[in-house]
Copies of this chain bind each other. A is one copy, B any other.
């Protein structure tokens, strides 16, 4: 009996299956320190217990994207080991902050399958939930990937494509219990701009850039126990380069966005995202944002802002797609998310 995990193929997924992902993880101050070492992350709520307490939380939570990566990493052996491409995200919501001492695990339900016309692969849709040690859902999201078929002779399954919202409605965003921005310290947070200062359609160039190093993206990717070999093994790809985990680009771009969006503190919704082009060693990542929407919340002093976050390997902001409607070659990431800001 072979002991190693060959990964699942397209035919191994059926709508309604629930996959219980392996290797739960307890977080500590170590994950926070490493996150700050790996990314130029400066959002005060995630840096200072005192600042978080001033906002009504018991302590500084784990960065929302770190929680996302940790949950995502657990799904890789069951969902994307034989994936050809990560196609999209939708309906992502953060339900509960994660604190030092919490233990995360993950499970995914298959919510859609569609074989490709070439018969060699198919698209699998899963809704993944991250759970803490009290079995509370800390975050969930839908992701769809293209997966190779193992046995080409098997018939195509019945196509089922889930209906997905184009964006989380503002009323469905979960504001953490107790969150209160009414005594928010803008000086400690680093910028004076409040929710009211941002306009839909406004674009922000985050100015700074970080050139990618191999050791850094590998440290990050392993920290989330994402062990997909393309991220680590230079012999796994024809060109001898490592493919950088898309989540590394997301976290880098989000951290760079501090410069102009220092007060977009908590990420609470992931409406969608595309890894437009692969990222490899030596690229200098820059980021820009666009305000897509704004909404009030019932929490004191808390507004919600919907943002497009674009990471690029080029040096000109605000360029997204060419005349052909396709992403420009330098665009690495186009992410659509909701954050909470002081009003």
| Residues of A near any B CB (own CB < 8 A) | 1, 3-5, 20, 22-34, 36-42, 44, 47-51, 60, 77, 100-101, 103, 105, 133, 187-191, 193, 197-198, 204-211, 213-216, 218-220, 222-223, 225, 227, 229, 232-236, 242, 259-262, 284, 315
Asked if B4 contacts A206 (CB within 8 A), the reply is: yes
Most B Cβ at <10 Å: residue of A28, A214, A284: A28
Q: Can you identify 20 A-B contacts, CB atoms within 8 angstroms?
A: A1-B197, A3-B198, A3-B261, A4-B205, A4-B260, A22-B44, A23-B42, A24-B44, A24-B50, A30-B30, A30-B34, A33-B34, A39-B222, A42-B227, A47-B225, A209-B233, A210-B233, A211-B234, A216-B218, A219-B219
For A284, list chain B residues within 8 Å (CB): 233-235
- What's the nearest-Cβ distance from chain B to residue A325, in Å? 29
Asked if B188 contacts A23 (CB within 8 A), the reply is: yes
CA distance A23 to B216 in the complex (A): 23
For A214, list chain B residues within 8 Å (CB): 213, 215
Decide: A48 near B103, CB < 8 A? Known: A36-B223, A213-B214, A214-B215: yes
Asked if A233 contacts B215 (CB within 8 A), the reply is: no
For A262, list chain B residues within 8 Å (CB): 22
CA distance A234 to B211 in the complex (A): 6
CA distance A189 to B197 in the complex (A): 49
Asked if B191 contacts A3 (CB within 8 A), the reply is: yes
Decide: A33 near B30, CB < 8 A? Known: A23-B48, A24-B44: yes
Asked if A22 contacts B190 (CB within 8 A), the reply is: yes
Decide: A236 near B209, CB < 8 A? Known: A30-B31, A33-B28, A47-B24: yes
Most B Cβ at <10 Å: residue of A37, A262, A284: A37
CA distance A210 to B207 in the complex (A): 33
CA distance A24 to B209 in the complex (A): 23
For A27, list chain B residues within 8 Å (CB): 29
Decide: A23 near B235, CB < 8 A? Known: A4-B260, A216-B218: no
CA distance A310 to B139 in the complex (A): 39
Most B Cβ at <10 Å: residue of A44, A197, A211: A211
Asked if A28 contacts B25 (CB within 8 A), the reply is: no
CA distance A160 to B126 in the complex (A): 65
Closest to A211 in B: B234
Q: A28 touches which one: B30, B37, B38, B242 (CB < 8 A)?
A: B30
CA distance A223 to B27 in the complex (A): 18
- Give 20 A-B pairs besides A22-B262, A216-B218 with Cβ atoms closer than 8 angstroms: A1-B193, A5-B190, A20-B187, A22-B187, A23-B190, A25-B47, A29-B100, A30-B34, A31-B33, A36-B225, A41-B222, A48-B103, A50-B103, A208-B232, A210-B233, A214-B215, A219-B219, A233-B284, A234-B284, A235-B284
CA distance A180 to B112 in the complex (A): 40
For A4, list chain B residues within 8 Å (CB): 204-207, 259-260
Asked if A28 contacts B28 (CB within 8 A), the reply is: yes
For A193, list chain B residues within 8 Å (CB): 1, 3
For A234, list chain B residues within 8 Å (CB): 211, 284
